[in-house]
Homo-oligomer: A and B are copies of this chain.
Amino acid sequence: MDLEIITIGTELLLGFTIDTNAAHLARALASVGARVVRRTTVADRAEDIEEAVRSALSRTGFVITTGGLGPTRDDVTKRVVAEIFRRPLRLDRAYLAELEERFAKLGRKPMPEANRSQAEIPEGAVVLPNRWGTAPGLWLEGEPGTAVLLPGVPREMQGLLEHELLPRLKEKLSPFQTGLTVIRSRTLRTTGIPEAALADRIGDLEPELAPVTLAYLPGIEGVDLRLTAWNLPPEEAESVLQRAADLLRPRLGIHFYGEEGEDLAGVVLSLLKGRSCKLAVAESCTGGLLGERITAIPGSSAVFLGGVVAYSDEAKIRDLDVPRQLLVAHGAVSEPVALAMARGAARRFGAGASLAITGIAGPGGGTPEKPVGTVWLAACLDGAERTAKLSLTGERDDIRRRSAQAALNLLRKMLLGQS
């Protein structure tokens, strides 16, 4: 079943509030087989809401709105939708009594006049009780279609979605149960390979993945590949996703490191734990970001011993035993210094594995020979050593995040015995 979502609110439209409701709704709906084909955001203006609801109904016959149900004057959704369906508003005495009782319980008596309007219900609408706030959800069915009105406050929207809307939708879709289909997805995470190179490597497989579709999601830390199975029975969706993942993974090679929700730092920690190896880090331009990422993983203390943030040359010499002559001869951003930092961290913390990062994150500090974005990495693992040079572009924050990710990946590749 196809439907559209309309989120209503001037704050949303102006970008003062980020619309998290829409994403939450879409994912929940897809899981029961209702597919969102368009989302529209309009201001709290009657004309705009009316036009948006009418055209959504003309396209799919089913629309869900969020927002514009509160007691204040700018909340106009209910009135507008009632007019579209030609249903007069009637005071629902049972709901009014319930509202008054709730206000009395909170010691707020009499109930503010503004809330009284919330008990006015379009004729023939089904009330979806709102236990998390005062505006009821509404389900209207008739000419020109079906409209479900939900409040905009995220907690209220989510409560109504889970307890009222999803059960009703499941029931509505059940006559077609034999044909119930869902949208499911699965994500393969890659790092160390740009989007276009990835497309060159796997693009020819795309037709073979059908009916699963493939989307590239490039981010600072790598490219996620989202596989989606559209409108299939649940078990079939799972099995075609499994098949697609099995087809793709060998092509991704070393660049594949995990699935949705897995972080590269967690992958590295697991590999280290598997060989009872402890980790220490030495950071310059990332200033603690690498340690932060590692320790963001619960339980990291079983593997991670600690680190040194050596921003100055003196700190590199004193706390990481970097020989002064290396700094003089090669500069702080150099292969020998990165390696000395990694060795120093491993020795100092008594760690079997270590990582070091030294680079120029910008915006200042670049030179013609070592422009902003020049970063040297080094890794030690049980006596083996490896270094890598990065030439990164972007803002300071990008360069730092990409450096930390590349350092983790360098160690992961060593742990997997790959170059």
A74 to B215, Cβ gap below 8 A? yes
Instruction: Determine the chain B residues whose CB is within 8 A of the CB of A112 once the complex forms.
Output: 196-197, 199-200
Interface string of A281-301 (1 = CB under 8 A from B): 101011111111111101111
Can you give 20 A-B contacts (C-beta < 8 A)? A16-B226, A37-B42, A55-B55, A70-B216, A72-B199, A74-B215, A111-B196, A113-B200, A114-B196, A114-B200, A114-B203, A115-B196, A155-B394, A289-B292, A291-B291, A291-B309, A298-B364, A305-B312, A308-B309, A319-B348
A288 to B298, Cβ gap below 8 A? no
Rounded to whole Å, the gap between the CB of A215 and the closest CB of chain B is 6
Indicate if A258 sits at the interface (CB-CB under 8 A): no
Smallest CB gap from A10: residue in B: B215
Indicate if A163 sits at the interface (CB-CB under 8 A): no
Indicate if A311 sits at the interface (CB-CB under 8 A): yes
Indicate if A183 sits at the interface (CB-CB under 8 A): yes
Rounded to whole Å, the gap between the CB of A249 and the closest CB of chain B is 19
**In whole angstroms, how far apart are the Cα atoms of A26 and B306 in the complex?**
43
Instruction: Count chain A residues whose beta carbon lies closer than 8 angstroms to a beta carbon of B.
Output: 113
Which residues A303-319 have CB closer than 8 A to chain B? 304-312, 314-315, 318-319
Rounded to whole Å, the gap between the CB of A256 and the closest CB of chain B is 18
Majority secondary structure of chain A interface residues (helix, strand, loop or mixed): mixed
Smallest CB gap from A365: residue in B: B301
Indicate if A106 sits at the interface (CB-CB under 8 A): yes
Indicate if A19 sits at the interface (CB-CB under 8 A): yes
Indicate if A384 sits at the interface (CB-CB under 8 A): no
A397 to B296, Cβ gap below 8 A? yes
Interface string of A105-140 (1 = CB under 8 A from B): 111100111110000000000000000101000000
Interface string of A22-59 (1 = CB under 8 A from B): 11111100100000111111111000100010010000
Contacts A292-B288, A319-B348 given; does A307 touch B309 at CB 8 Å: yes
Which residues A170-215 have CB closer than 8 A to chain B? 183, 185, 194-197, 199-200, 203, 206, 213-215
**In whole angstroms, how far apart are the Cα atoms of A299 and B115 in the complex?**
42
Instruction: Determine the chain B residues whose CB is within 8 A of the CB of A291 once the complex forms.
Output: 283, 287-289, 291-292, 309
